[in-house]
Structure 1
Amino acid sequence: MGLVIGEISYTNMLPLYYYLDRDYLNRIGCMFIPQIPAQLNEAMSKGAIDVGGISSFSYGEHVDQYTLLPNLSVSAPKNVGSIFLFSKVPITQLDGKKVALTSSSATSVNLLKIILQTFYQMDVSYTVMKPDFNEMLKDHDACLLIGDDAIVTLWGLSPDFHRYDLGQIWYEHTKLPMTFAVLAVRNEILERENERISILYDGFMTSKNKCLENNYSEMISSIRKDLSGSKTYWENYFQGLNHDLTDKHIEGLYLFYDKATELGLLKKVNKISLWSALDHCHSI
């Protein structure tokens, strides 16, 4: 029947996809759907996508329906470099203010709510909008942007604005990495598509490792043609990211889910299931 693969269309996910042999994967029945995280989250929840990159928060919403592919994520041990709160005032002065949230995200939107309500004990009014810096700040005191939207905004940011990296704030308060996106598969297709999933998983791991081996050099050359930016900027950016899913990442995810549950944003997540080619999945 084939395998429909979701692909987050941001550079932070690119190392997992860059070296995939798409011609071969297409020949064996794999089809790629590139979209922003919010669109992929919805498509996967409706069964239009079988496997691929989604927001970590969306996995938490569907924890009983999805299984994670191990060793793969978009995470940050500290600074993520592409998820920013841009503000007219210091973050400590946002109590009672209005914040515009990007419509592209799930994880970052809820992470910001955790940061402002739990870490800073502030009551903030939120509005979800299309990711447009100038439009978002017309009637709001701050805005949240993610991915390439955040990077391009950062490059042209006036010194009058304050900016805050959500990955860094999370680390300062938890001492744990923040996992923003995961690679997940719908449970009902695990048995049916185990062979194709195994081939795809090997491709993801090969792509990640090859990017690490050549310090992202080929991929950065390609990115600069589309988005510009200096070679040094992109090297520093990818060195600040992490695409693994270790026990520490899982610990950070559980804490993120617990804090989201405390704020009523998410139902309690009791287990995170990881896929295995041998036993299909196990929980940790």
Structure 2
Amino acid sequence: MNRDSKNKARSSLPRIGQIDFSNCLPINLPIKKGAVVLEGEFVSRVPSGLNALIEAGDLDVSAVSLYCYLNCPSLSLVPGISVSSLGPVGSVLFFYQGDLKDLDKAPVLVPNASATSINLLRVILDQEASVKADFKTVVTPDLPGSSASGALIIGDEALKVDKSWSASFNRIDLGKWWFDRFKLPMVFGVWAARSEFVEQEPTRYKEIEEALNRSRDLGLSSHLEEVVEAAADHMLLDRERVKRYFIEELDYNLGDEHRKSIELFQKLCGSLN
């Protein structure tokens, strides 16, 4: 194969986005290790980065924020797989000083990597105290080092600071709040495909859908110890804590209850606009 042919073959591969958080390792690692064969051009970013790429048409299939999927009509939901919680999620946390009712117009730090969590926090503040905080977008919220009244922190960083911040501030686990309130799983992330790609490449799309679901199954079974080891080494956390995170706190399914939850989240977000 000459160079032009190689370039043409490479460019014809599906463009697949992977979230650069440890919570997606059960899906990403078996593919990376070759336990699940999935050919594509892989792009790794934080959720907001992948949201922007797929909205611009620069990805074919990607893990995205639920909020991105709900606000992008050109996307189709990949069945069977999500990043959700059935109670405490452990990695989407809101820390604050004083009472929630005192946060009206108060400065609250939120991460630029987030979309779903920021809007869920808006819902929580409205439902619990009928307040609207003044969200300040930063790369990594640092509540102890700022004059802000609260901070939303997500992903690996949330797991890292949880113990120390919990000793100084009030804490809300957003996944727990949602489940306690509505008795439904909180869906933070989903996998979505450009509808055009689904229509034009149905066979290839189906292969990707099946590979993602199969990888999830392996990542939570035969490859779980590898997943835990990689995440613990990356976050510098105790392996038992990390294993509990994957087994007890996160949920990677997408069933009827998840879809009900998605509809409710969309409705509640819409009521705030």
- Specify whether residues 22 and 189 from structure 1 end up closer, same or farther in structure 2 by C-alpha distance, changes over 3 A only: farther
The unaligned stretches of length 5 or more in structure 2 are 1-11
The aligned amino acid for 1:191 is E
Q: 1:245 Cα shift?
A: 0.4
Q: Which moved more, 1:32-41 or 1:118-127?
A: 118-127
Q: 1:183 Cα shift?
A: 0.3
1:67 to 51, 76, 91: 76
User: What SS does the corresponding residue of 1:234 show, helix, strand or coil?
Assistant: helix
- Specify whether residues 214 and 117 from structure 1 end up closer, same or farther in structure 2 by C-alpha distance, changes over 3 A only: same
Structure 2 Cα separation of the partners of residues 33 and 152 of structure 1? 25
2:239 to 188, 209, 231: 231
Query: Could you give the per-residue CA deviations for residues 212-245 of structure 1, whole angstroms, max 9, x where no partner exists?
Result: 3248222101222222211210111112110000
Matched, 1:46 2:56: yes
User: What SS does the corresponding residue of 1:69 show, helix, strand or coil?
Assistant: strand
Q: Which moved more, 1:17-26 or 1:163-172?
A: 17-26
Q: 1:146 Cα shift?
A: 0.7
The unaligned stretches of length 5 or more in structure 1 are 265-284
Structure 2 Cα separation of the partners of residues 5 and 38 of structure 1? 15
Matched, 1:14 2:25: yes
- Specify whether residues 22 and 51 from structure 1 end up closer, same or farther in structure 2 by C-alpha distance, changes over 3 A only: farther
Equivalence for 2:5 = none
CA contact (8 A) 1:101 1:126 kept: yes
Q: 1:160 Cα shift?
A: 1.5
Q: 1:21 Cα shift?
A: 5.7
Structure 2 Cα separation of the partners of residues 86 and 176 of structure 1? 23
**How many residue pairs end up in the alignment?**
259
CA contact (8 A) 2:122 2:132 kept: no
TM-score scaled to structure 2, two decimals? Answer: 0.89
Matched, 1:123 2:114: no
CA contact (8 A) 1:119 1:173 kept: no
- Specify whether residues 256 and 41 from structure 1 end up closer, same or farther in structure 2 by C-alpha distance, changes over 3 A only: same
Q: After the TM superposition, list the runs of 4 or more consecutive aligned residues in structure 1 that deviate by more than 4 angstroms.
A: 21-24
User: What SS does the corresponding residue of 1:243 show, helix, strand or coil?
Assistant: strand
Equivalence for 2:181 = 173
1:55 to 56, 60, 65: 65
CA contact (8 A) 1:21 1:203 kept: no
CA contact (8 A) 2:30 2:223 kept: no
Q: 1:22 Cα shift?
A: 6.7
Structure 2 Cα separation of the partners of residues 92 and 159 of structure 1? 21
CA contact (8 A) 2:110 2:141 kept: no
2:159 to 151, 157, 169: 151
The aligned amino acid for 2:38 is L
Structure 2 Cα separation of the partners of residues 77 and 223 of structure 1? 21
- Specify whether residues 59 and 213 from structure 1 end up closer, same or farther in structure 2 by C-alpha distance, changes over 3 A only: same
Matches within 5 A, 1:104-123: 104-123=113-132
Structure 1 Cα separation of the partners of residues 256 and 223 of structure 2? 24
Aligned-pair identity in percent equals 28
User: What SS does the corresponding residue of 2:253 show, helix, strand or coil?
Assistant: coil
1:78 to 60, 78, 87: 87
Q: 1:70 Cα shift?
A: 0.6
- Specify whether residues 83 and 159 from structure 1 end up closer, same or farther in structure 2 by C-alpha distance, changes over 3 A only: same
